[in-house]
Structure 1
Amino acid sequence: MADSPLILGAGPAGCAAAIVLGQAGIRSQIIDRDAEVGDPLCGGFLSWRTAEQLSGLRIDIQALGAHRVTELRLFRKSRESRCPLPQTAYGLSRHALDTAMRLKALSLGAQLAIDTVRGIEPGNVHGTDGNYAFGSLFLATGKHDVRGHSRPRPSNDPALGLRLRLPASDQRTKLLDGAIELHLFDGGYIGIVLQEGGSANFCLALKKSALSAHGGDPAELFARVADDNPALAARLGHDWREGRIESIGAVPYGFIARETQPGIFRLGDQGAVIPSLAGEGISIALASGHMAAQHWLAEGPQAAPAFQRNFAAAAQRPVVMARLARTLAESALGAQIGLGIARMVPSLIGHLADATRIVPKSRLARLPRPA
């Protein structure tokens, strides 16, 4: 068996791979640019499917304070639809999740190096502080590309992500308790969920043109949407302008890596980018990390092309369905259709949620039993 893989990125995909390798007795090396675990913009809502995957990795999200979610609410201006979720989902910050996963990987023997990767050459990763030789590389850098392995970004109107985190308040807890909400507007939508400690996470997915229509000012966009949506205004409250709005740009939603070279495994958003809120990137990330590790354990570096093809096939349906849901949510007619479906046939929402995730019981996501 070749030397253990070098993993770039200590997010959910990279750590899932390190955990599965560690369960098999393989000690991997992880490189991440941040010594302190951050709080990435995307991934604060975890479906029941993702909860199963994390349980298989022995990550107890309830012990981390995850907020239970049992209902989906859809809003557009003054209209509202509600439907129960098929199973309990959770709100949990990426800081809490990524911290727990990093600690789990390290407890199973993974080694962590803090460095900023500048480039990749065959058999070598070049960092600011050193070079790292590899026989197998798991590329798990999330939405951030590495020079020489960037993803195509063909859209003339690229997708953007914005996030506003507001502190716990009695008003927001009363309004949001037990729910995940989607507030739809022309060109985008805002997802809201409570997380550990009662903080409220407002995650907005939109097209660049929608932000440009509001002068390129995220705060102005929030204010205008809230003017048309009384429910959103109530959840923002009077203190929302004191919060910091974070952003990520040019997200290549819909990208799927279908080919790779021996020794290079593309994981998480480097393997497939599913639209935020319409789909669930954490589920895709966990599944990719597990699948890459299993392929490597079976055949070493030469398994990379087969892994990439198999992962692309597994991710195809979730990505396509999430793109369809996102397209509908961003248009006035599509939003009306979604509200009507949620009101008349709420069970279809559960089927859509399943269709945009990789089922943990499948061959792709099933985890080995620890010794």
Structure 2
Amino acid sequence: MIRPIVLGAGPAGSVAALLLAEGGAEPILIDREPDIGDAICGGFLSWRTAKALRELGCDPAALGARRVTRLRLYAGEREAEAALPEAGYGLSRKALDSTLRHLAVERGAQLEIDRARSVASGRIEGERRTWESAAIFLAIGKHDIRGEARPRDGADLALGLRVRIPASDKLNRMIGAAIELHLFRGGYAGVVLQEDGSANICLAVRKSVLADAGGDPWELLKAIARKNAGFARRMAYAEAELPVDTIGAVPYGWIAHEADSGVYRLGDQAAVIPSLAGEGMAIALASGRAAAQSYLEGEGPSIYQRRFAQRAARPVRVAETLWHLAETSRGAAVMTVAARLIPGLAGMAMRMSRI
């Protein structure tokens, strides 16, 4: 039997490996690091993501995740708040990824540590060795790899940044059980408390916005705070020069409609939803499940990829529309005022951006 190979042990890859193992496929799960870090994106879990995780035997509440029941919007001096359709959670990727990788190995996946240099049909060139399989599940997140790079169109692509503010009683009371979106020209910041009480702040900004701050992420954060009082109040609890994690050229809105021979694309390799929708983890889990089921049922990656692209089309399109509206001053103001004046509007937008 030729064993399937899953490249990447994040949520998408671990779920695929877990289900392939349960189906008797004896998958090999390859990750580049023996010690699990804390990825930039994915610190908020929607109610549907939480349900999907429980079905896999991973309960966010049991991992200490912070319960989130409210959405709070900020645009300049404007503010709006609405109830989430159902409770979500704030949970670090380190806690989530560690649990899912452990479950995959526990249920029969073989974990191997290697850094992949390139992927071609039926072959992964790693630093340790060459891995061969007729079925490769590509789950390497927002990063690209030689041989399977995604197109990046446009001169002013989005960048991802993340800073974590240490736990504080005052900051805890300020944010509470909310997921916050701070909207500003050229981008937005999502803020949520995580299991250790720290505030996870993730930003998606245009390359030009960072350039205007001299290319310095910390100067960018300070510039945003000067023009946005709500964001400034959160950043007041940040220690000077906290580490800022970055990832460049994120192709938000991209969807894989076709598959190369033998390669199943999962997670951000299948569909990159703007992170303000809070649905990236749901897409990761759903694609991992769908790809594993497709393989176990004898379907090729092309059938899976076309089918998943159809599922992802509406939530990605809705989230992309909201993103483009939110990154303009006028659009951000309209969104905030509308959310305050029209009960249920924010909930409707959240439901439409779910997979």
CA distance in 2, matches of 1:53, 1:111: 23
Residue 351 (str. 1) matches residue 348 (str. 2): yes
Compare 232-241 and 65-74 and name the one that shifted more: 232-241
CA distance in 2, matches of 1:19, 1:277: 28
- Cα deviation digits, residues 248-284 of structure 1 (max 9, x gap): 1000111111111342111111111111123421111
Residue 338 (str. 1) matches residue 335 (str. 2): yes
Q: Does the 8 Å CA contact 1:279/1:322 hold for their aligned counterparts?
A: no
- Post-superposition shift, 1:178? 0.4
Residue 162 (str. 1) matches residue 161 (str. 2): yes
- Corresponding residue for 1:188? 187
Compare 149-158 and 233-242 and name the one that shifted more: 233-242
Q: Secondary structure at the match of 1:175?
A: helix
- Cα deviation digits, residues 55-94 of structure 1 (max 9, x gap): 1111111111100111111011221101111110110011
Q: Does the 8 Å CA contact 2:180/2:190 hold for their aligned counterparts?
A: yes
CA distance in 1, matches of 2:225, 2:108: 48
Q: Secondary structure at the match of 1:62?
A: helix
CA distance in 2, matches of 1:233, 1:252: 28
Q: Which amino acid aligns with 2:315?
A: P
Equivalent residue pairs, number = 355
Q: Does the 8 Å CA contact 1:279/1:319 hold for their aligned counterparts?
A: no
Q: Which amino acid aligns with 1:231?
A: G
- Post-superposition shift, 1:3? 2.8
- Corresponding residue for 1:312? 309
- Post-superposition shift, 1:238? 4.4
Q: Does the 8 Å CA contact 1:84/1:346 hold for their aligned counterparts?
A: no
| Structure 2 residues not aligned, in runs of 5+ | none
Give me the TM-score of the superposition, normalised by structure 1: 0.93
- Counterparts of 1:221-260 in structure 2, within 5 Å, are 221-260=220-259
- Corresponding residue for 1:37? 36
Compare 76-85 and 347-356 and name the one that shifted more: 347-356
Q: Per the alignment, do residues 239 and 316 of structure 1 end up closer, same or farther by CA in structure 2, a change over 3 Å counting?
A: closer
Residue 201 (str. 1) matches residue 162 (str. 2): no
Q: Does the 8 Å CA contact 1:267/1:285 hold for their aligned counterparts?
A: yes
Q: Per the alignment, do residues 201 and 279 of structure 1 end up closer, same or farther by CA in structure 2, a change over 3 Å counting?
A: closer
Compare 270-279 and 189-198 and name the one that shifted more: 270-279
Q: Per the alignment, do residues 279 and 322 of structure 1 end up closer, same or farther by CA in structure 2, a change over 3 Å counting?
A: farther
CA distance in 1, matches of 2:48, 2:343: 18
- Corresponding residue for 1:74? 73
- Corresponding residue for 1:322? 319
CA distance in 2, matches of 1:170, 1:54: 29
- Post-superposition shift, 1:312? 0.6
- Post-superposition shift, 1:353? 1.3
Q: Does the 8 Å CA contact 1:160/1:207 hold for their aligned counterparts?
A: yes
CA distance in 2, matches of 1:239, 1:250: 26
Root-mean-square deviation (CA, aligned residues, Å) is 1.3
- Corresponding residue for 1:273? 272
CA distance in 2, matches of 1:180, 1:18: 31
Compare 175-184 and 223-232 and name the one that shifted more: 223-232
- Post-superposition shift, 1:28? 0.9
- Post-superposition shift, 1:287? 0.4
Give me the TM-score of the superposition, normalised by structure 2: 0.97
Q: Per the alignment, do residues 103 and 340 of structure 1 end up closer, same or farther by CA in structure 2, a change over 3 Å counting?
A: same
CA distance in 1, matches of 2:277, 2:214: 26
- Post-superposition shift, 1:334? 0.8
| Structure 1 residues not aligned, in runs of 5+ | 359-371
CA distance in 1, matches of 2:262, 2:33: 25
CA distance in 1, matches of 2:56, 2:350: 22
Compare 186-195 and 239-248 and name the one that shifted more: 239-248
- Corresponding residue for 2:13? 14
Q: Does the 8 Å CA contact 1:14/1:267 hold for their aligned counterparts?
A: yes
CA distance in 2, matches of 1:3, 1:96: 32
Compare 236-245 and 302-311 and name the one that shifted more: 236-245
Q: Which amino acid aligns with 2:72?
A: R
CA distance in 2, matches of 1:293, 1:97: 20
- Corresponding residue for 1:364? none
Q: Does the 8 Å CA contact 1:35/1:114 hold for their aligned counterparts?
A: yes
Compare 193-202 and 347-356 and name the one that shifted more: 347-356
- Post-superposition shift, 1:323? 0.4
- Post-superposition shift, 1:4? 3.1
Q: Secondary structure at the match of 1:205?
A: strand
- Counterparts of 1:8-157 in structure 2, within 5 Å, are 8-157=7-156
CA distance in 2, matches of 1:278, 1:150: 24
Q: Which amino acid aligns with 1:217?
A: D
Q: Which amino acid aligns with 1:323?
A: E
